Structure 1
């Protein structure tokens, strides 16, 4: 499913993979985020960190009347404060989607799928 953006010159369709790449890049840029996780961790492997090509497996996008709803699945660094990491991810995702695509985001749900230690 693509997100439609209406402009004065016509419509723009943005595929979910593009949004997932922007969201994934915004998420992993935050201190305390080790990487993106799959939303189907049991099927795809609990300890697997997604690479850039697979960010779509760790991001769910829902189009709503008041904007987008985005679910972001991450793996966090052990010893970091999860509420601070989550808030940072939310702010960065909202900012990047607005800056790059001009898309209004109504909510960003951060789901911590795992904790990674330095070992």
Structure 2
């Protein structure tokens, strides 16, 4: 379990897969994103993950000092401005994760693994 919240009523534990799915769905909602790329690439070949698949495969999450560190791998559409796409993704992920779970996000790294026509 990665994310842990406790209060006077008890504990909430979030698995890495659940947090990864929140990040993945949030990312796929952003304009210009073709899909997530599997973080388990071999020989430089990236597997394109589309909607409906386990999007957490394209997300790596860790925790440091009670804050989440998110790293994700995406493939963007040709002709889109990558810096704008990445900034939109970062804002959307931070907002969704913090509002849905109550956990704080310290950093988000967007790795663009390819461009699709």
TM-score, normalisation: structure 2 = 0.90
Contact 1:66 1:106 in 2 (8 A): no
The answer for unaligned runs of 5 or more in structure 1 is none
Deviation, 1:99, is 1.1
Task: Figure out how many residues of one structure are paired with residues of the other and give that number.
Answer: 117
Structure 1: how far apart are the matches of 2:87 and 2:48? 23
Partner of 1:112: 112
Give the alignment's TM-score, normalised by structure 1: 0.89
The answer for unaligned runs of 5 or more in structure 2 is: none
Structure 2 Cα separation of the partners of residues 50 and 9 of structure 1: 38
Offset of 1:50 from its aligned partner? Answer: 4.2
Q: Deviations over 1:34-62 (max 9, x none)?
A: 11111123369535224444222110001
Relative to its length, the structure with more helix (as a share) is 1
Q: CA RMSD in A?
A: 1.8
**Separation of aligned partners in 1, 2:67 and 2:47:** 32
* Cα distance in structure 1, aligned partners of 2:99 and 2:78: 31
8 Å CA contact 2:33–2:76 kept in 1: the answer is: yes
